[in-house]
Amino acid sequence: MSKASSHAIRGMLHILSPIMDILYPPRCAGCQRSGSILCSSCLAQIEPLPMPICPRCGLPTTQAALCRECLHVQPAISALRAAGEYKEPLRACIRALKFDGNTRLAEPLGLLLAQAYRRYGIVADALLPVPLHQERYAQRGYNHAALLAEACARHLHLSCYEHLLVRHRATLSQVGLGPGERRQNVQGAFACSPVLARGALYGKTLVVIDDVCTSGATLEACAAPLFAAGARVVWGLALARPMP
């Protein structure tokens, strides 16, 4: 499926969704209760990461200072942040969006990202999603990170550059890989689109959006070509993060 066709289908589904809700009432992705795609009860259970956090990697720490890891090895990205912990019901919502085709979840989950953006005091020029390789995109028919970034950008009134980054090399799933293996798996896998990036990123502050950040390897790999294209600051903002 082409990206243009995917956009057209998403637009049609958005128009038809109120009718579909009447014919087939939605079920909450978190608790499976009928009535909404993400109920208020499950939404209330999705809490921000406990403070304080490390200013760079964004993981909870004992004091508002660099954690031991970041004192020794600085992440190859300006800073990492996450909206919440990778646990239920947020985990079920991410899986429903990513693997079950429940693309309407991008709207409430994108709002969570926008709230995290404001809570952490991020100020950026634009958002962009972690891209899918064209083979994976053809299989799935959409990029879940792009849907999240688009929804987040709407709430923040920011630009979203879906096609600025490209994944020009297919990579293995990061699941089950150690930190070093994760970095090696995605190293050099991303590049800036030459048409969109030529001089346009110089001095800019950008936020790369993803669903889950574990080691930060994917977001760091995305940041590398953005810095090379002249970006001044690159944040990584994920919907969820597993706690160590």
At 125, list the tokens. 């020029």
Tell whether the model's pLDDT for residue 222 goes beyond 80: yes
pLDDT digits (tens, 9 = 90+) for 138-171: 888 999 999 999 999 999 999 999 989 998 876 6
Q: Which domains does the chain have, with CATH numbers?
A: 48-241 (3.40.50.2020)
Tell whether the model's pLDDT for residue 1 goes beyond 50: no
Residues 6+ apart with CB under 8 A from 77: 208, 216, 219, 220, 223, 234, 235, 236
pLDDT of amino acid 11: 53
Report how far residue 208's alpha carbon sits from residue 113's, in angstroms, rounded to the nearest whole number.
11
DSSP state of 58: -
Q: Pick the more confident residue, 41 or 7.
A: 41
pLDDT of amino acid 75: 87
CA distances from 244 to 53, 57, 88, 92, 97 (A): 13, 12, 16, 19, 24
Cβ atoms of 104 and 38 closer than 8 Å: no
| C-alpha of 150 from chain center | 10
Report how far residue 188's alpha carbon sits from residue 209's, in angstroms, rounded to the nearest whole number.
18
Q: Which amino acid is at 50?
A: P
At 148, list the tokens. 């999240």
Report how far residue 32's alpha carbon sits from residue 13's, in angstroms, rounded to the nearest whole number.
21
Average predicted confidence (pLDDT) for the chain: 87
CA distances from 147 to 114, 126, 162, 188, 202 (A): 13, 15, 9, 24, 26
Q: Which amino acid is at 195?
A: V
Report how far residue 150's alpha carbon sits from residue 152's, in angstroms, rounded to the nearest whole number.
5
pLDDT of amino acid 186: 74
